[in-house]
Structure 1
Amino acid sequence: MFVVTRYRVPEPESEQFAQLARQALEALAERPGCLEGRVSRSIDEPDLWLLSTRWQSVGTYRRALSHPEVKVRAVPLMYRCIDEPTAFEDQVSFAAGQGLTEHESDLIVE
């Protein structure tokens, strides 16, 4: 699964935001189950930033969010994110040399 949080950051705050985002990514990357992550900035709208991470499972992501170090270093940044859904699971993916892969859902459908 992967998590995408987007942020609107005025230009005067961009340097400070980049440092906070790096600290948040470091805290998340230290948690078991974090497979990768990145902080990105839109090339078309420079005030739009992105923090994205990929996780082994929903459970590892949720456990990471409850860890004290993540609460101190990452959650404050997340309060600034655009209010929209952030967690997604792959349905179909592509990797060079592997082609397309279909994935089973971890969602519980009632």
Structure 2
Amino acid sequence: MLVVNRFRVPDDDERFRADLQRAHEALAARPGYVTGRIGRNVDDPSLWVLTTTWEHVGAYRRALSSYEVKMEAVPVLSRALDEPSAYEPVDPGTVLNTGVPRSLG
């Protein structure tokens, strides 16, 4: 599972960079984390991104509910642009998720 969090940071980017690094470290310490990176847009330096890859959606959701992530990462993640952030891998032959609400039944 791929998670893409984008941020608009018009000023104080050094402080944001440090906060985002701590958030990434907190997420990286959780079970199911595979890899991740922090980036900044080359054309618009106020646009930042944190991408992380997880073994599965459950690992990511459990990571978000951990105490350490709530303390270190959630305050930063709450500044992300309001857009969907969780993506499923699309490899050849992959059966894709359907748009059915998971809370039914």
**Normalization by structure 1: what TM-score?**
0.85
Equivalents in 1 of 2:89, 2:19: separation in Å? Answer: 28
1:104 matched to 2:103? The reply is no
Structure 2 stretches of 5 or more lacking a match? none
> What is the SS of the residue equivalent to 1:7?
strand
| Count of residue correspondences | 101
Q: Displacement, 1:102?
A: 3.5
Task: Provide closer, same or farther for how the CA distance between residues 107 and 32 of structure 1 changes in structure 2, counting only shifts above 3 A.
Answer: farther
**Structure 1 counterpart of 2:55:** 56
Correspondence 1:8-19 to 2 at 5 A = 8-10=8-10, 12-19=11-18
Equivalents in 2 of 1:79, 1:32: separation in Å? Answer: 22
Q: Displacement, 1:105?
A: 3.6
Equivalents in 2 of 1:73, 1:102: separation in Å? Answer: 38
> What is the SS of the residue equivalent to 2:89?
coil
Q: Which has the higher contact order (CA 8 A, sep 6+)?
A: 2
Q: CA RMSD in A?
A: 1.5
Q: List per-residue Cα deviations over 1:35-58 (Å, max 9, x = no partner).
A: 001110000110000011000000
Q: Find runs of 4+ consecutive structure 1 residues off by over 3 angstroms.
A: 104-110
Q: List per-residue Cα deviations over 1:6-40 (Å, max 9, x = no partner).
A: 00001x31000000000000000000000001110
Q: Displacement, 1:103?
A: 2.6
Equivalents in 1 of 2:66, 2:94: separation in Å? Answer: 28
Q: Displacement, 1:107?
A: 5.5
Structure 1 stretches of 5 or more lacking a match? 93-100
Equivalents in 2 of 1:106, 1:35: separation in Å? Answer: 21
What amino acid sits opposite 1:5 in the alignment? N
Task: Provide closer, same or farther for how the CA distance between residues 47 and 59 of structure 1 changes in structure 2, counting only shifts above 3 A.
Answer: same
**Normalization by structure 2: what TM-score?**
0.89
**Structure 1 counterpart of 2:71:** 72
Equivalents in 1 of 2:6, 2:95: separation in Å? Answer: 26
